[in-house]
Amino acid sequence: MDLDFSPEDQAFRDDVRALIADAFPDGEVYDDRRTHRDRWRLAMASKGWAVNKWPVAFGGPGWSPSQNFIWERETTSAGLPPQIPGMGVGMLAPILFGYGSKAQQDRFLPDIREDRVVWCQGYSEPGSGSDLASLRTKAVRQGDVYTVDGEKVWTSGAHLADWMFCLTRTSTESRPQAGITFLLIDMKSPGIEVKPIISIDGRHAFNRVTFDNVQVPVANRIGLEGEGWTYAKGLLTHERTGQAYVSMSMTLLSNIKRAAAALSGSCGGSLLEDPGFASRLRWAEIELEALEMTEMRTLWEVAAGTAPGAQSSMLKLKGTDIVQRMTEFFVECAGPYGAPWLPVIDHPQDRPQPDAIGPDWARREIARYYEARAASIAGGTDEIQRNIIAKHVLRL
Ligand SMILES: Cc1cc2nc3c(=O)[nH]c(=O)nc-3n(C[C@H](O)[C@H](O)[C@H](O)COP(=O)(O)OP(=O)(O)OC[C@H]3O[C@@H](n4cnc5c(N)ncnc54)[C@H](O)[C@@H]3O)c2cc1C
């Protein structure tokens, strides 16, 4: 593994910075509005980078691991998503590359690449989260159609989605993993009902989705009947490799340092010079640097053709721990503004300068990232990652 960036890599980094500066002049912050999404996607597309993690055969740029690394760092520290947001581009597309038919690739990939269709993930069910293989949503085949009945839960963005990639049970005869089938379901199909789950922060991100006699063409099945578990498991491993949050933690770290340098500590100097705070922050920084090396090593190994395996669980587990510690430092910096009911104390006429520690700062820096608390549950809980490590690395 070569940790020094070559002159080509440095030139690539300059290109990336120029693209970002052109797309968002004056350092305007990307905020996921449709206009911003389109502007960023078109900017990436103008260089052939819109689907930067896709294989060359499907329109990806074929970057080296170091180019991927540079891209991730530069976009994240500018507050931009490293790829088109959503579950189509990063989660469904790799399954279509590996297991979709040519007809399915031709039908679904262009809409994902152009950000025209929103996808959601229908895996978890009441009673089947960590123990996903116990899922019960039933799909019964008759001729060219499956009839789907059952319920999914915690389905992020289902209320905005056009399509769902969904795990269904087509057989109970063998071990649970063997009877699972991967279907693509049009969310406009009669018999689908999406009910909101409002989370503690008042947001509507999750849903409960019920299926009552929903008709799904067999042409929308990925791969073979009963093989869906294999496809879904491969996807989860790759999903977790991407959940080390290194770039996000680095951005947070530099913001924390800036904020703490401007705040008073308990020993006369700034908070950043406070021995207790400084030592905890430095320790987190050292762990982040170690995680960065591990992530780079994994990326190089994946590029060389090695499947990430249990390493992806280690990255997710440690990355989640560090990013959550970073958000806690923010709350410490925000003091009373870290309290949860910011809108109540936020009177527009009292707003301080954007960079002063106050309600605006707290909303921007804390509220935006604090949902990283959920990272130790989403995509497989911490305990499940530890089980995987115990089984595959420690051989317990
Ligand atoms: C932000 C977020 C977004 C999500 N988005 C989606 C989505 O879009 N689509 C989707 O399908 N799902 C989604 N989920 C659901 C997520 O996949 C599940 O919450 C997760 O798999 C855990 O399942 P569960 O909630 O049923 O908890 P459970 O499996 O019931 O676990 C409860 C507790 O028991 C522990 N536990 C369970 N089994 C074991 C074991 N064998 N050993 C040790 N401890 C164990 C767990 O670690 C946890 O602490 C999302 C979750 C979050 C937080």
Q: What single string gives the DSSP state of each residue in 128-181?
A: BSTTGGG---EEEEETTEEEEEEEEES-TTGGG-SEEEEEEE---SS-GGGGEE
DSSP 220: G
Residue type at position 59: G
378 pocket-lining for ligand 1 (C-beta < 6 Å)? yes
User: What value does the mean pLDDT take over residues 201-229?
Assistant: 94
Mean pLDDT of 360-386: 83
Q: Is 27 helix (H, G, I), strand (E, B) or coil?
A: helix
Q: What is the pLDDT of residue 224?
A: 97
Q: Which atom of ligand 1 is nearest to the CA of 371?
A: 1
Q: Where in the chain is the domain with CATH 1.20.140.10?
A: 242-392
Q: For the residues 156-167, what does the mean pLDDT come to?
A: 97
- Range in 124-128, 205-209, 366-370 the model is least confident about: 366-370
Ligand 1 centroid to Cα of residue 387, in Å, is 14
pLDDT at 97 over 60: yes
Rounded CA gap, 61 and 53, in Å?
8
Q: What is the pLDDT of residue 355?
A: 60
Residues in Cβ contact with 210 at an 8 Å cutoff, skipping those fewer than 6 apart: 150, 151, 192, 193, 195
CA distances from 2 to 49, 311, 367 (A): 24, 20, 37
Phi, psi of 303 (to 5 degrees): -65, -30
pLDDT of residue 312: 86
Give the three-class secondary structure for 206: strand
Point out the least confidently predicted range of 156-160, 161-165, 340-344, 353-357: 340-344
How many angstroms separate the CA atoms of 211 and 150, rounded? 5
| Distance (Å, whole) CA 244 – CA 313 | 9
Please indicate whether residue 156, judged by its CB atom, sits closer than 6 Å to ligand 1. yes
Which pLDDT does position 349 carry in this prediction? 43
Torsion sign, CA atoms 112, 115, 116, 119: positive
Tokens of 208: 């409960």
What percentage of residues in the chain have a pLDDT greater than 70?
91
For residue 139, the surrounding DSSP H or E stretch is strand 138-142
Computed over every residue of the chain, the mean pLDDT equals 88
pLDDT at 133 over 80: yes
Confidence at residue 281, expressed as pLDDT on a 0 to 100 scale: 97
Residue carrying the six token digits 């009839």: 147
Instruction: State the pLDDT confidence band at 62, using cuts at 50, 70 and 90.
Output: very high
- Model confidence band, residue 196 (pLDDT cutoffs 50, 70, 90): very high
**Pick from 384, 392, 45, 379: nearest CA to 245:** 379
Q: How many whole angstroms separate alpha carbon 225 and alpha carbon 240?
A: 26
- Beta strands 163-169 and 119-122, pairing class: parallel
To test the pocket of ligand 1, the residue of 119, 154, 389 to mutate (highest count of ligand atoms within 8 Å of its CB) is: 154
Residues 155-169 have a mean pLDDT of 97
Q: What is the pLDDT of residue 379?
A: 85
- Give 378 or 144, the one with higher predicted confidence: 144
Residue 347 has pLDDT above 50, yes or no: no
Give me ligand 1 centre to Cα 236, in Å. Answer: 13
Specify the fold of 242-392: Butyryl-CoA Dehydrogenase, subunit A; domain 3 (1.20.140)
- Give, for ligand 1, the residue of 92, 130, 159, 371 to mutate: max count of ligand atoms closer than 8 Å to Cβ: 130
Determine contact, residues 347/322, Cβ cutoff 8 Å.
Answer: no
Q: Which atom of ligand 1 is nearest to the CA of 152?
A: 11
> 69-78 burial by CB neighbour count: b if 16+ within 10 A, else e?
bbbbbbbbeb
Q: Is the pLDDT of residue 352 over 70?
A: no
pLDDT classification of 346: cutoffs 50, 70, 90 = very low
Q: With 70 as the cut, is the pLDDT of residue 174 above it?
A: yes
Answer yes or no: is the C-beta of 320 below 6 A from any ligand 1 atom: no
Assess whether pLDDT exceeds 50 at residue 351: no
Determine the atom of ligand 1 nearest the C-alpha atom of 387.
42
The CATH architecture that domain 119-226 belongs to is Beta Barrel (2.40)
- CB of 86 shorter than 6 A to ligand 1: no
Q: How far is the CA of 128 from the centre of ligand 1 (A)?
A: 8
Query: Does the reported pTM lie above 0.85?
Result: yes
